[in-house]
Structure 1
């Protein structure tokens, strides 16, 4: 039997101990992969939303609130104020709500001025844009296909009948399954004509968007926030930091438990194989080769844990994420991080038992029964 096969086979001679160690490490890996995918998905979704369409940046409420974007709604008169700031070419308000649409108890309804749809990154695939303050709506192609809607059909939105006048397509996955209608109509439905969620802003040609955004902040920064990147939203940054901290706290706990399991498993392995190790030393195995064997066996267990944990974490997120309204995004960095942690735990968990093994005097080991 080759040295490599020897290392691959040995950890599973004590199946119960190996399984317990694998489960402990795998739990930590599942948490790292699953929450990593959720975090990346949230960042991607909010980046899509904030950098929507032809808008150079977005203006939102200052404080955390109950709007669809997690900020407080703002008064509609802010649109005119923003439009009058030097360097601003266009400013169009949007009102995003979650309400009953068709057979869905909750879906995204987006209200916008018909002239501002270009800033929302949508283009008509069929039909036309809705008219202002009318009971007309346009549907995202994904929503229309999933629910078998066509141009000319009617759809109930918040218990009111709307005519479907168009099907749109978009590069923003957050809006592909949504419904657009006139912002004034959304205000009527919500009985809140004076509130909006955000303002899409387009700057004049030749203007630097960041400079204009800073200009708005300097004038109105006490009341509103200009968002040129998702990480500038304080509440999003706090939420993501909290999520990442939770990921590391939970995974660290699981990995510590798993690491102790690895050390215990490998110590038991060394104890049970005392005579075997003595024989190997007697036939010429060096301390370095013994150490490599023990650490290698520890790595086999943690790498198997990383593979199992990554697969379960990926599958769980992929299946359960969409049901919770989250589209997870998995990047190579997440899996590299998971495997790197597993390898470090494997090396650390194997070093102490390996040192115990190399310190065994061959003559005493051979006498061990």
Structure 2
């Protein structure tokens, strides 16, 4: 019986190809939009996840809140306090630095290139490995001596020297109103997709690393402690511990100490993107309702056109439920076909976009299965009334219909 109904449904759809396609168009657009939007949302979440990996998912920023009414100079950290934190939490902290940076213009003869230098300690690569292609990274001697040594990203090196292989070459730069010669000790390469680069907001400046002792001079103070905890350390347990200790050495209340973690930011961003994806996907799903109404409308027309056929089938012994199942099968098949085409269209759009932006895309199989099932349910739901009308038709009146 099912095969017979499927055969009749396919025949009916083929008999009116253009009308059937236009009817399915609402479902195609709706399903395609939902698949594309959900996939884009998932892909964006994955891009942000990768971007946060570059920042460090086990990272925390510790500082005395700006919101305290009596903020004082001693609320800034000094090197001794950094070393004390490092020693007290040596079993939990993998890496710590001053989170210092320098936005400066590098000058090599007539060439001038703006750089954003990140101040780091010698073991920074333990928590954030770098792809060094020439030379070396900042070492312990560079940090202890506050040596004017830098590691440049290859793109910046090419702009400044015309080549990435520039280890040993020097340039002038002003850091904290102090103009000196700096020497390139290493060059690294970083692969970023266009999407990731856009999200990270690299801007016009080039990137590089410099000893943090050069940026935050030996006797100077700094605003925050930049901490990477060891693998396996529970960040939720670590936060109150470091908060209590910093509050103690600063003579502050625990509520006045801020500990911002990358995991918290990731969670907030993931929640925001999920909510946005769901909201936009919900709006796109409204077109499914429009598509369902279109199916109902065309099925009503089909019932009217085939009134005589209904009468003949009933006269030959077809039961009410047989007629109803026949038209429900047709509406469900039409909707499911539209859903399948919509899925192919949505996935194609996402894949093409990912290829253009050189970004990995995520298409969840569960969403695809749900979309097909939902499109079929739309067909059944909106086909119920036309099918019921066809099933209840009086065979005598149906046979008289011209």
> If the length of structure 1 is used for normalisation, what is the TM-score?
0.69
Match of 1:165 in 2: 187
Which protein shows a greater Rg? 2
**Secondary structure of the equivalent of 1:228?**
helix
Judge conservation of contact 2:61–2:261 (CA < 8 Å) in 1: yes
1:51-62 matched pairs, under 5 angstroms: 51=53, 55=56, 57-59=58-60
Q: 1:221 to 1:245 in 2, by over 3 A?
A: farther
Q: How many residues align?
A: 323
Residue 245 of structure 1 pairs with residue 279 of structure 2: yes
Match of 1:210 in 2: 236
Structure 1 gaps of 5+ residues are 63-74, 98-107, 141-148, 155-161, 189-193
**Secondary structure of the equivalent of 1:285?**
coil
Judge conservation of contact 2:6–2:330 (CA < 8 Å) in 1: no
**Secondary structure of the equivalent of 1:328?**
coil
Q: Which residue of 18, 21, 25 corresponds with 2:20?
A: 18
Structure 2 gaps of 5+ residues are 64-74, 104-114, 143-147, 156-161, 168-182, 216-221, 245-253
Judge conservation of contact 2:333–2:376 (CA < 8 Å) in 1: no
Judge conservation of contact 2:94–2:127 (CA < 8 Å) in 1: no
- Take 1:138 and 1:307, find their aligned partners in 2: how far apart are those partners? 46
Judge conservation of contact 1:124–1:169 (CA < 8 Å) in 2: no
- Take 2:46 and 2:343, find their aligned partners in 1: how far apart are those partners? 21
Judge conservation of contact 1:94–1:112 (CA < 8 Å) in 2: yes
Q: CA RMSD in A?
A: 4.6
Match of 1:340 in 2: 373
Q: 1:223 to 1:209 in 2, by over 3 A?
A: closer
**Secondary structure of the equivalent of 1:284?**
coil
Q: Which residue of 288, 294, 305 corresponds with 1:261?
A: 294
1:1-369 matched pairs, under 5 angstroms: 2-51=4-53, 55=56, 57-59=58-60, 80=82, 86=89, 87-92=92-97, 93=99, 111=118, 113=120, 115-120=123-128, 122=129, 124=131, 126-131=133-138, 134=149, 136-138=151-153, 152=165, 165-167=187-189, 181-182=208-209, 199=226, 201-203=228-230, 207-216=233-242, 219=254, 223-228=258-263, 232-233=267-268, 235-248=269-282, 250-321=283-354, 323=356, 327-369=360-402
1:166 offset after TM fit, Å?
3.9
1:77 offset after TM fit, Å?
6.0
Judge conservation of contact 2:132–2:187 (CA < 8 Å) in 1: no
Q: 1:222 to 1:284 in 2, by over 3 A?
A: farther
Q: 1:361 to 1:110 in 2, by over 3 A?
A: farther
1:73-106: CA deviation from partner (whole Å, max 9, x where unpaired): xx99699598588443423548799xxxxxxxxx
Q: 1:355 to 1:199 in 2, by over 3 A?
A: farther
1:162-209: CA deviation from partner (whole Å, max 9, x where unpaired): 977344689xx958x998620679x99xxxxx899x956123x77433
1:270 offset after TM fit, Å?
0.7
Q: Which moved more, 1:285-294 or 1:256-265?
A: 285-294
1:153 offset after TM fit, Å?
6.7
> If the length of structure 2 is used for normalisation, what is the TM-score?
0.64
**Secondary structure of the equivalent of 2:361?**
coil
1:58 offset after TM fit, Å?
2.6
- Take 1:290 and 1:94, find their aligned partners in 2: how far apart are those partners? 76
**Secondary structure of the equivalent of 1:354?**
helix
Judge conservation of contact 2:311–2:395 (CA < 8 Å) in 1: yes
- Take 2:78 and 2:391, find their aligned partners in 1: how far apart are those partners? 74
